[in-house]
Structure 1
Amino acid sequence: MALPLADSLTDADRAFAEWVREQAAKLDTAHRSEASGVDRDLVLSLGERGLLGAVFPGASAGDHCREASAVRLCLLREHLSRVDTHAETALALQGLGSYPLVQSGTQQQRARWIPAVAAGEAVAAFALTEPDAGSDAAALALEAEPAGDGWRLNGEKTWISNAPEADFYTVFARTTPDAGARGVTAFLVPADRPGLSGEPLHMLAPHALGHLVFDAVPVAPEDVVGEVDRGFRVAMRTLDLFRPSVGAFAVGMAGAALDAATTHATGRHAFGGPLTNLQSTRHTLAEMATRTEAARLLVYAAAAVYDAGSPETGWRAAMAKLFATETAQYVVDAAVQLHGARALRRGHPLEHLYREVRAPRIYEGASEVQREIIARGMLT
Structure 2
Amino acid sequence: MPAFSLGPEQVAWCAELRTLAAERLRPLAEKAEPGRVDRPLVAELGRLGLLSRLFASGALDLCLMRESLAYACTEAETALALQGLGAHPVHAHGTPAQRERWLPRVTDGTAVAAFALSEPGAGSDAAALALAAEPDGGSGWRLTGRKCWISNAPEADFYTVFARTTADAGARGVTAFLVPADRPGLTGSALEMLSPHPIGSLDFDAVPVTQDDVLGEADRGFRVAMGTLNLFRPSVGAFAVGMAQAALDATLAHTARRDAFGGKLMDLQSVAHQVAEMALRTEAARLMVYAAATAYDESAPDVPKRAAMAKLLATEAAQYVVDAAVQLHGARALERGHLLEHLYREVRAPRIYEGASEVQRGIIAKELYATATREDRP
2:114 corresponds to: 125
CA contact (8 A) 1:200 1:209 kept: yes
Q: Deviations over 1:105-134 (max 9, x none)?
A: 111111110111111100000000011011
2:251 corresponds to: 261
The code of the aligned residue for 1:32 comes to K
- Structure 2 vs 1, CA of residues 7 and 293 (structure 1 numbering), >3 Å: closer, same or farther? farther
Q: Deviations over 1:38-81 (max 9, x none)?
A: 01111111111112122132xxxxxxxxxx30000000000000
1:232 corresponds to: 222
Cα deviation for residue 17 of structure 1 reads: 1.6
Once the two structures are superposed, the pairs formed by residues 27-66 of structure 1 within 5 Å of their partners are: 27-30=24-27, 31-33=30-32, 35-57=34-56
Cα deviation for residue 316 of structure 1 reads: 0.5
C-alpha distance in 1 between matches for 2:89 and 2:305: 20
C-alpha distance in 1 between matches for 2:267 and 2:308: 38
CA contact (8 A) 1:34 1:206 kept: no
- The answer to whether 1:74 aligns with 2:71 is no
CA contact (8 A) 1:42 1:87 kept: yes
1:326 corresponds to: 316
The code of the aligned residue for 1:82 comes to Y
CA contact (8 A) 2:143 2:163 kept: yes
C-alpha distance in 1 between matches for 2:187 and 2:34: 21
CA contact (8 A) 1:125 1:163 kept: yes
1:62 corresponds to: none
1:17 corresponds to: 14
Q: Percent of counterpart pairs with the same letter?
A: 67
- Structure 2 vs 1, CA of residues 308 and 26 (structure 1 numbering), >3 Å: closer, same or farther? same
Cα deviation for residue 24 of structure 1 reads: 1.6
The code of the aligned residue for 1:23 comes to L
1:158 corresponds to: 148
1:206 corresponds to: 196
CA contact (8 A) 2:185 2:206 kept: yes
C-alpha distance in 1 between matches for 2:340 and 2:17: 22
C-alpha distance in 2 between matches for 1:22 and 1:332: 22
CA contact (8 A) 2:26 2:76 kept: no
2:135 corresponds to: 146
CA contact (8 A) 1:80 1:87 kept: yes
C-alpha distance in 1 between matches for 2:367 and 2:218: 27
Helix, strand or coil: the match of 1:234?
Answer: helix
Q: Deviations over 1:124-163 (max 9, x none)?
A: 0000001101111000110101111111100000000000
Q: Deviations over 1:147-190 (max 9, x none)?
A: 11111100000000000000000000000010000000000000
Helix, strand or coil: the match of 1:29?
Answer: helix
TM-score (norm 2): 0.95
TM-score (norm 1): 0.94
Cα deviation for residue 19 of structure 1 reads: 2.8
C-alpha distance in 1 between matches for 2:330 and 2:33: 23
Gaps of 5+ in 1: 1-5, 58-67
What is the root-mean-square deviation in Å for CA atoms of aligned residues? 1.1
Gaps of 5+ in 2: 371-378
Once the two structures are superposed, the pairs formed by residues 196-345 of structure 1 within 5 Å of their partners are: 196-345=186-335
C-alpha distance in 2 between matches for 1:354 and 1:343: 9
Helix, strand or coil: the match of 2:26?
Answer: coil
User: Is the deviation greater in 257-266 or in 10-19?
Assistant: 10-19
The code of the aligned residue for 2:77 comes to E
The code of the aligned residue for 1:314 comes to P
C-alpha distance in 2 between matches for 1:356 and 1:102: 28
The code of the aligned residue for 1:156 comes to R
- Structure 2 vs 1, CA of residues 34 and 333 (structure 1 numbering), >3 Å: closer, same or farther? farther
CA contact (8 A) 2:4 2:294 kept: no
- The answer to whether 1:116 aligns with 2:105 is yes
Once the two structures are superposed, the pairs formed by residues 340-379 of structure 1 within 5 Å of their partners are: 340-379=330-369
- Structure 2 vs 1, CA of residues 33 and 270 (structure 1 numbering), >3 Å: closer, same or farther? farther
C-alpha distance in 2 between matches for 1:77 and 1:190: 27
- The answer to whether 1:8 aligns with 2:11 is no
CA contact (8 A) 1:20 1:51 kept: no
2:72 corresponds to: 83
Helix, strand or coil: the match of 2:51?
Answer: helix
Helix, strand or coil: the match of 1:309?
Answer: coil
CA contact (8 A) 2:4 2:291 kept: no
Cα deviation for residue 22 of structure 1 reads: 3.0
The code of the aligned residue for 2:38 comes to D
C-alpha distance in 2 between matches for 1:19 and 1:28: 12
The code of the aligned residue for 2:127 comes to A
